[in-house]
Amino acid sequence: MNSAPPLPVEDRDPTSTELAKCDEASLLGLLDEIEHRHGFIPREVSDELERLILVRLERLKRIQGKLESTIQRDVQNHVATWREEEGNLIMILHAIQNQHGYVPREAAMALSRELGVTLARIYEVITFYHYFKLQPPGNHSVVVCNGTACYLKGSLELLNELRARLGISEGQTTADRHVHLDVVRCIGCCGMSPALVVDGKTHGRVKTSDIGGILDSIKKQEAKK
């Protein structure tokens, strides 16, 4: 869809194939030109556009439906594992977050239906605990430990360095969705302070000068993809 918009020939309207190749922005430009030429938008063009839009919508709906049924099935599986347990909500949320990296709204809604618990109560629990996330994380996570030992040994300097290099602050994801930066209380590696967790791997005794190398290795992994 992102191919360069075909330049319309001066004295004729675009064909339906040409229209179908346009993205939204170039469509708008085309429509402006057509309107300018005729003083109005001819019926054939508007009908063709409507058809195209419906086709695209249909396709999107199919994708969404597929997603929803997958999510529904996954949630049903999680619920089945924990069905017999009292107080299973938090454990199911852990399972969902482990799978998606966050708790998607659709999953929370499916869970509400499966468990017969109101959505409000599910969100009450999700938002209470720091561990549960409502936004999709980046492809890679960088977590700075800010336990007391790490704090005393300069974890804030590491955090400032990361903020400066990534251009985001904690709890945010870079615009290219490559890196998600976060701060945690304590990961219990106080003997190795200050500590960072990068994609689940703990790095101990980190210096600000190490940050560049750590981010470079993430960049390399992204480039390989």
Strand partners, 203: 196
Reported as half-sphere exposure (CB side, CA atoms, 13 A), residue 9 has a value of 6
Q: In the structure, how many helices (H) and strands (E) does the chain have?
A: 9, 4
Nearest approach, Cβ of residue 86 and another protein (Å): 7
CA atoms of 115 and 17, how far apart (whole Å)? 49
Among the listed ranges 1-9, 40-48, 55-63, 149-157, the one in contact with another protein (CB under 8 A) is: 149-157
Q: Which amino acid is at 204?
A: G
Q: Which of 118, 148, 217, 221 binds another protein (CB under 8 A)?
A: 148
Q: Does 40 bind another protein (CB under 8 A)?
A: no
Q: Which of residues 104-133 bind another protein (CB under 8 A)?
A: 124-125, 128-132
The kind and range of the H/E element at 66 are helix 43-82
Contact call for residue 139 and another protein (CB under 8 A): no
Whole-number Å distance between alpha carbons of 170 and 156 = 11
Helices 43-82 & 105-115, crossing angle to 10 degrees? 50
How far apart CA 141 and CA 218 sit, in angstroms, is 10
Binding mask 72-101 for another protein (x = CB under 8 A): -------------xxxxxxx-xx-------
Toward another protein, which CB reaches closer, 37 or 203? 203
The DSSP 8-state label assigned to residue 188 in this structure reads S
Q: Considering only the stretches 26-34, 38-46, 193-201, 212-220, report the one whose residues sit in contact with another protein under the rule CB under 8 A.
A: 193-201
**Site pattern 153..192 for another protein (x: CB under 8 A):** x--xx-xx----------x------------xxxxxxxxx
Using CB under 8 A as the criterion, which residues of the chain lie in contact with another protein when the complex forms?
A: 85-91, 93-94, 124-125, 128-132, 146-153, 156-157, 159-160, 171, 184-193, 195, 201-204
